[in-house]
Copies of this chain bind each other. A is one copy, B any other.
């Protein structure tokens, strides 16, 4: 099902597009036709709303505050692990800046969580060729104890091969799962390979393994291990789990291919702080007519501890905060409320998103539509949505037309999405819009020490700001519902 079909002859394509595609007429004639169509087809208010959206887009493209914001966050706070004192500093930073900018209803909505902390980690090959390894504990990994864990390694090419290993076959050993994630524009391989990270440790434990290693879920070839959350099964022993950088994974696979027994030592020192504080930071531009109706944009404020969280997700914080700022500074007041949510503790299991859903459960039906920026700083190349109404489809067409000049194509994929922190709201029925970023390089840096602000491109961030401003403004300044119409067509 497609809301902005791009196939030739589709009955759903807006008439404007067909006109523009098929006519070879001179520019002046085309402009006249456009104006005539516009006057005929749209209400005066919607036309004004679109004109404002175009203005916001153009202002963003001239240069937004996004790069300044993400630079400040990653410099003045740096790494901000979920539930840590650093994440608290990030909230304080966000509250100060949002208040300073004069947004409404600026607040922290706190919640409690068990906060994992990394104290020390490392690894080395003991035999046959002693040398250090670039490794990093997966988020949530238990400690090895002071003496570390020294054991022979059994290598598996894939997670399925590990699953096929006989019970007890890994007693006293460390299991390693290799795989090679390839880069994709849309990041679609991540879910597939990520199972080795999340589910792998307990699968290895079920075969008797003492420890677990993976090739990093990442597309670079640098000596940066990629961390990220694991998920222990309740019924399995919790074993230490670490990721090797891709060059180190190559190294141990090369050594193992030589046929000799491979022995390694790894160590992890970690702990969990129970009932630690996290929170979601919120700011709004209140709706002028229906303030209870909410258009949600946002990003997550926490990051992994290895880098400074620039692409994940400082970029999203910068993009969405700059978009909200742009609307406010233009002096525009939308019909509905635009709410910016900077979620806490996303990386460790969408804890902020779940807390938000719980706190706002009664108001979920008033959440008109949402979109999160959480895929780095690459340019938006596609827009899709899961609108369930004809009026919603029309409004999306308006958005798509406004974004086409800045390189955004209307896509035909209508899977709900729009960012991980929206999943609980999606499950509760909220429609979403997806502003698809080019993530070809995203998994080069994702969850590594190298996720720093020098990797971001200011002009690409501005293009993202333009798209978020157009979306948030048009959605909030209309009265259309994106939910399914109650009376069938």
Report A249-268 CB contacts with B as 1/0, cut-off 8 Å. Answer: 01100110000000000000
Partner of A251 from B75, B251, B254, B449 at Cβ < 8 Å: B75
Once the chains bind, are B221 and A454 in contact (CB under 8 Å)?
yes
Once the chains bind, are B308 and A131 in contact (CB under 8 Å)?
yes
CB distance from A90 to the nearest CB of B (A): 11
Once the chains bind, are B129 and A223 in contact (CB under 8 Å)?
no
A381 and B125 alpha carbons, distance in the complex (Å): 38
Task: Write out the residue numbers on chain B whose beta carbons fall within 8 Å of the beta carbon of A251.
Answer: 75, 78, 308, 452
Q: Does A312 contact B (CB under 8 A)?
A: no
Say whether, besides A222-B450, A449-B223, A455-B221, A254 and B75 are in contact (CB < 8 Å). Answer: yes
Report A81-103 CB contacts with B as 1/0, cut-off 8 Å. Answer: 00000100000000000000000
Say whether, besides A221-B455, A449-B223, A78 and B307 are in contact (CB < 8 Å). Answer: no
CB distance from A69 to the nearest CB of B (A): 14
Once the chains bind, are B79 and A131 in contact (CB under 8 Å)?
yes
Q: Does A437 contact B (CB under 8 A)?
A: no
A76 and B254 alpha carbons, distance in the complex (Å): 10
Q: Does A247 contact B (CB under 8 A)?
A: yes
Once the chains bind, are A129 and B77 in contact (CB under 8 Å)?
yes
CB distance from A444 to the nearest CB of B (A): 10
Report A443-455 CB contacts with B as 1/0, cut-off 8 Å. Answer: 0000001101111
Partner of A76 from B77, B129, B221, B308 at Cβ < 8 Å: B129
Q: Does A168 contact B (CB under 8 A)?
A: no
Residues of A within 8 A of B (CB): 71, 75-79, 86, 125, 128-132, 134, 221-224, 246-247, 250-251, 254-255, 307-308, 449-450, 452-455
